[in-house]
């Protein structure tokens, strides 16, 4: 009898090994944020393409093609290379830069963390057997211990604009080249009118599929513009602006990640045209026109006003709930000139509130837009990544800033 049980256990183990016990069977499909397997939306600003990633011990980010780590304990920031004779990002020669282990040569400095791996995109080229030259984009992943580097997806047809890893899949917002958009030098540019959301298993072990045909929506919705994308639980939420009968409209699409069913849930929501959306306490939180912040359920129901910024900070008139860190919601404070509606003045004040919407007003060391929530300890701040301005940590307990890295 004992032997029979043993045999059964071994047999099941063998089946698992043979068929891989698909990674999806380990996924927790609770309709809330599950750490490790879910997209770290609190570390990404979609619109301005700021990406940070968090593992157990470190934060990660990419600048100018180099991968950096910030040690959560010591708060030191450094290029992720252990070669003793290497100058890393301070190396002038391109050939030597390529030798640095931190040099990913990634496009657009985007990086996400998921289940022990960092995902990034690189430009590559190759010649086929007939000597034809091909320009490629490759999605890659690197294990955080540095031992594994894999190619997940390669494309010649698409330009990958944004990507996330969520619940076992890599999702890529990918645009196709438009033949008529070649400039006089023969340079092609990708057109967002021809964009699609692609999806492939996050270990690269199956074929990519078109998950959402964004270009089809562009035929239906005039001036279709995706302002935010947020993966959360079993959903993808898209904050959309479009034009209907000459009037601008704002809405939210809720896409079911299992059935791909898309619902427009914004009909009765008082969304501002420039509304910010964050998912806090398992609710959608956004701002209306004026000074009010609202929350509603994932289907757009149970709308509730949760805060009126004008009652908290009097001399300002715009309040944007950009982000949260899982514990606190962060609301950036502005003054907008009511005469023209576009002159913005950002304040040094930042409102944070807990899950009961009990608020605190903080005086930040700089004028600060909390576009990314990060986690409970710090904000990471860089004024302008293209200008290579220094990187700061802002401590969430005393809201003091500390310079942690100067880029060469």
Contact residues for Zn ion, defined by CB under 5 A: 81, 83, 86, 88, 100
Nearer CB in complex with Zn ion: 100/391: 100
Helix, strand, coil % over all residues of the chain, rounded to 5: 10, 45, 45
Are 211 and 171 spatial neighbours (Cβ–Cβ below 8 Å)? yes
Residue identified by tokens 């809720």 is 254
SS3 assignment, position 60: strand
CB of 383 to Zn ion, least distance (A): 26
Q: Which helix (DSSP H) or strand (DSSP E) does residue 48 occupy?
A: none
CB of 111 to Zn ion, least distance (A): 17
CB of 66 to Zn ion, least distance (A): 8
Nearer CB in complex with Zn ion: 98/244: 98
Nearer CB in complex with Zn ion: 6/83: 83
CB of 390 to Zn ion, least distance (A): 20
Nearer CB in complex with Zn ion: 89/196: 89
Residues 6+ apart with CB under 8 A from 355: 280, 281, 327
Nearer CB in complex with Zn ion: 25/82: 82
CB count in 10 Å sphere of residue 311? 10
Q: Which helix (DSSP H) or strand (DSSP E) does residue 15 occupy?
A: helix 2-19
Nearer CB in complex with Zn ion: 86/172: 86
328 token code pair: 């606190």
CB of 138 to Zn ion, least distance (A): 22
CB of 69 to Zn ion, least distance (A): 12
CB of 27 to Zn ion, least distance (A): 35
CB of 88 to Zn ion, least distance (A): 4
CB of 142 to Zn ion, least distance (A): 14
Nearer CB in complex with Zn ion: 81/285: 81
Nearer CB in complex with Zn ion: 100/170: 100
Residues 6+ apart with CB under 8 A from 220: none
Nearer CB in complex with Zn ion: 74/82: 82
Instruction: Give φ, ψ of 321 to 5 degrees.
Output: -80, 80
Among 41, 38, 37, which Cα is nearest to 26's?
A: 37
Tell me the DSSP string of 80-141: S---TT--GGG---HHHHHHSTTB--BSTT--EEETTEEEEEEEEEEE-TT--EEEEEEEEE
Are 307 and 353 spatial neighbours (Cβ–Cβ below 8 Å)? yes
Residue identified by tokens 């860089």 is 382
Among 109, 75, 81, 74, which Cα is nearest to 404's?
A: 75
């Amino acid at each position: 009898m004992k032997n029979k049980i043993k045999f059964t256990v071994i047999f099941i183990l063998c089946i698992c090994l043979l068929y891989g016990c698909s990674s999806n069977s380990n996924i927790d499909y609770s309709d809330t944020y599950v750490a490790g397997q879910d997209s770290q939306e609190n570390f990404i600003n979609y619109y301005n393409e700021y990406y940070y990633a968090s593992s157990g011990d470190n934060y990660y980010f990419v600048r100018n093609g180099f991968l950096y780590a910030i040690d959560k304990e010591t708060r030191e920031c450094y290029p992720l290379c252990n070669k003793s004779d290497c100058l890393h990002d301070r190396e002038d020669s391109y050939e030597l830069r390529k030798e640095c282990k931190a040099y990913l040569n990634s496009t657009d400095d985007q990086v996400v963390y998921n289940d022990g791996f960092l995902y990034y995109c690189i430009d590559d080229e190759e010649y086929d057997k007939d000597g034809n030259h091909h320009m490629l984009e490759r999605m890659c992943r690197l294990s955080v211990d540095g031992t594994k580097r894999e190619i997940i997806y390669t494309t010649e047809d698409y330009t990958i604009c944004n990507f996330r890893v969520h619940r076992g899949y890599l999702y890529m917002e990918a645009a196709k080249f438009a033949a008529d958009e070649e400039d006089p030098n023969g340079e092609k540019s990708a057109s967002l009118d021809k964009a699609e959301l692609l999806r492939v298993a996050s270990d690269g072990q199956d074929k990519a599929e078109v998950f959402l045909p964004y270009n089809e929506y562009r035929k239906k919705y005039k001036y279709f513009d995706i302002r935010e994308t947020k993966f959360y639980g079993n959903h993808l939420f898209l904050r959309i602006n479009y034009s209907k009968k000459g009037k601008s409209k704002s809405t939210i699409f809720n896409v079911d990640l299992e059935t791909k069913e898309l619902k427009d849930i914004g009909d009765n929501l008082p969304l501002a045209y420039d509304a910010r959306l964050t998912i806090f306490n398992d609710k959608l939180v956004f701002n209306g026109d004026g000074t009010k912040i609202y929350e509603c359920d994932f289907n757009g129901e149970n709308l509730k006003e949760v805060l009126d910024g004008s009652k908290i900070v009097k001399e300002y008139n715009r309040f944007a709930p950009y982000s949260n860190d899982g514990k606190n919601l962060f609301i950036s404070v502005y003054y907008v000139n009511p005469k023209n509606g576009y002159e913005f003045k950002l304040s040094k004040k930042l409102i944070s509130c807990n899950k009961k919407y009990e608020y605190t007003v903080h005086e930040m060391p700089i004028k600060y837009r909390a576009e990314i929530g990060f986690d409970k300890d710090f904000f990471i701040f860089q004024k302008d990544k293209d200008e290579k301005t220094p990187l700061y940590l802002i401590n969430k307990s005393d809201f003091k800033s500390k310079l942690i890295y100067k880029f060469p």
